[in-house]
Chain A
Amino acid sequence: MAVLAQAEAGEIAARLRNLALPAHQDLRAPESGLVMLRGRVGGDGAPFNLGEATVSRAAVRLASGEVGFGYTLGRDGDKARLIALCDALVQSRDHGGAVERGVIAPLREQLMIRRKQAAVETAATKVDFYTMVRGEG
């Protein structure tokens, strides 16, 4: 689900359209709210409240009974519903494999490419120290 939270709603929807989806219904209609984000004193100490973030959530139930939950940063309720649908589908014996292969795996690959690109660009700004020797030893 971490991969889906990082993707755009349109990307998830486009890949889901290629699959034959079973009947499903909203268990919790998409809604937006806030989550208080916490940090830790000194990075590793006692928690403190840093500030809030907008979060959307939804829950979907397949006709076969599996229940999926979708949570994501932002105010895109459709994205939360799509994540919930994927979460329900991966639990289903009939659809789990197809969703993993057709939706999650390609999105994971895209995410890895984006992160790799950011990492190589960052790496180029790493300082190589060298020592200047002056005078005669």
Chain B
Amino acid sequence: MYVAVKGGERAIENAHRLLAHKRRGDQSVPEVTLDQISEQLGLAVDRVMSEGSLYDRELAALAIKQARGDLIEAIFLVRAFRATLPRFGASEPVDTGAMRVQRRVSSTFKDIPGGQILGPTFDYTHRLLDPSLAEGFVPDAPATAEASTAPTPRVTDILGRDGLIEPSPRADDGAPVGDLTREPLNFPADRDLRLQNLARGDEGFLLAMGYSTQRGYGRNHPFAGEIRFGEVEVEFIAEDAGFAVPLGSIELTECQMVNQFKGSATEAPCFTRGYGLAFGQSERKTMSMALVDRALRARELGEEALAPAQDEEFVMSHSDNVQATGFVEHLKLPHYVDFQSELGLLRKLRQEFADANAPDAMKEAAE
């Protein structure tokens, strides 16, 4: 038997009305604009685009505003929005080697061609709160220097020339590319699906998983071979036009992790690698992603897979914060009937327990 219980519509409506009021806050304080969020809370926007898996700064800013700054709620809103639009197709793979670099550092080589470029970074700040930012702060104009035209090749390309690092896996350009938004996930999953999953995975989850490998749960001895952030061009083969059309450029962060080497009787030892790529300036995310990507290659590289970060079913099933929050937060929805049946069962068990443990006198009297 199924009994529907109705009610609460007015309470829900009023709760949403109250939420809208709370979201606006004190109305004597100016309302925050989407431009302000996009320009001044840019890294929050980057995170919502990455984990919402949709590159659109304006929509991400709107989601952050609507969600009152709750980034997982904002990511949820963006994911829901993307489900309303048709897909025109897939872009040509972006060329991160041709990135207009705004930041590019290597912890493995001091003198990389193109140089170490710090760009806009929190690194080397003292992490002291700055009271001057509280109001009316006007920053100095950025320093300038003559721009170099020297190319900035990927560090892994330089190592690759001497065979010191394993080459990236190749695939035919016509080969299908796995898409977990279209087909249900099956295990074991190929690297394309794993990277797609990690790219939209929760930064905090990946950070903890990556950290666990450093602490010894699936150690893989990483070096940050290179981290780069900047703009890349996007091209799309438009069926109606019949050729590749430029769509514009997007900002990406890429991390190339260089990891412990492996070799065999038939193959010379070389470094292995892990890869991270995400929308916007998302350095912690891409570093964590690269650590976890490498950890998930344990089986492929003949390593014992005993740690959580090496277990692809565990990692891929728990990395998505929209799925995770959906299941965790559904616990607050009414479970009245479920709970009633548990309560009934518990009362019965307690009665049986009480009967079995009644004082002997009572038992004798009963006999």
CB of B179 within 8 A of chain A? Answer: yes
Residue of A43, A46, A49, A54 near B54 (CB, 8 A) is A54
Judging by beta carbons under 8 Å apart, are B147 and A116 in contact?
A: yes
Residue of B94, B100, B241 near A37 (CB, 8 A) is B94
A118 to chain B, nearest CB (A): 7
CB of B63 within 8 A of chain A? Answer: no
A91 to chain B, nearest CB (A): 12
Closest B residue to A49 by CB, please name it: B196
A76 to chain B, nearest CB (A): 10
Highest count of chain A CB atoms <10 Å: which of B116, B156, B181, B195: B195
Residues from 225 to 251 in B contacting A, C-beta threshold 8 Å: 233-234, 236, 238, 240-241, 245-250
Residues from 29 to 70 in A contacting B, C-beta threshold 8 Å: 32-55, 57, 59, 69
CB of B361 within 8 A of chain A? Answer: no
Residues of the B chain whose Cβ atoms lie less than 8 Å from the Cβ of A55: 88, 236, 247
Highest count of chain B CB atoms <10 Å: which of A43, A119, A123: A43
Closest B residue to A73 by CB, please name it: B248
CB of B219 within 8 A of chain A? Answer: no
Judging by beta carbons under 8 Å apart, are B156 and A34 in contact?
A: no
CB of A74 within 8 A of chain B? Answer: yes
B182 to chain A, nearest CB (A): 9
Residues of the A chain whose Cβ atoms lie less than 8 Å from the Cβ of B170: 45-46
Judging by beta carbons under 8 Å apart, are B168 and A36 in contact?
A: no
Highest count of chain A CB atoms <10 Å: which of B54, B96, B241: B241
Residues of the A chain whose Cβ atoms lie less than 8 Å from the Cβ of B100: 115, 118-119
Closest A residue to B54 by CB, please name it: A52
Residue of B103, B116, B196 near A48 (CB, 8 A) is B196
CB of A21 within 8 A of chain B? Answer: no
Residues of the B chain whose Cβ atoms lie less than 8 Å from the Cβ of A57: 88, 238
A93 to chain B, nearest CB (A): 20
Residues of the B chain whose Cβ atoms lie less than 8 Å from the Cβ of A48: 177-178, 191-193, 195-196
- A42 to B56: give the CA distance in the assembly, Å: 25
- A121 to B146: give the CA distance in the assembly, Å: 9
Residues of the B chain whose Cβ atoms lie less than 8 Å from the Cβ of A34: 54, 82, 85-88
Q: How many A-B residue pairs have CB under 8 A?
A: 225
Q: How many B residues face the partner with a CB closer than 8 A? A: 82
B225 to chain A, nearest CB (A): 10
CB of B50 within 8 A of chain A? Answer: yes
- A90 to B43: give the CA distance in the assembly, Å: 39
Interchain Cβ contacts under 8 Å between A and B, 28 examples: A32-B85, A37-B94, A42-B168, A43-B96, A43-B154, A43-B156, A44-B168, A45-B171, A46-B170, A47-B173, A47-B177, A48-B193, A49-B90, A49-B178, A49-B196, A50-B278, A51-B50, A51-B53, A53-B250, A55-B236, A71-B247, A124-B142, A125-B117, A125-B143, A126-B115, A126-B117, A127-B116, A127-B118
A sample of 16 more A-B contacts (CB under 8 A), given A49-B180, A53-B56, is A33-B86, A37-B91, A44-B157, A46-B171, A47-B177, A48-B193, A50-B195, A50-B278, A51-B279, A52-B82, A71-B245, A73-B248, A116-B147, A118-B100, A120-B144, A124-B145
B contact residues vs A (CB 8 Å cutoff): 49-50, 53-56, 58-59, 82, 85-94, 96-97, 100-103, 110-111, 115-120, 142-148, 154, 156-157, 167-171, 173, 175, 177-181, 191-193, 195-196, 199-200, 233-234, 236, 238, 240-241, 245-250, 252, 254, 256, 273, 275, 277-279
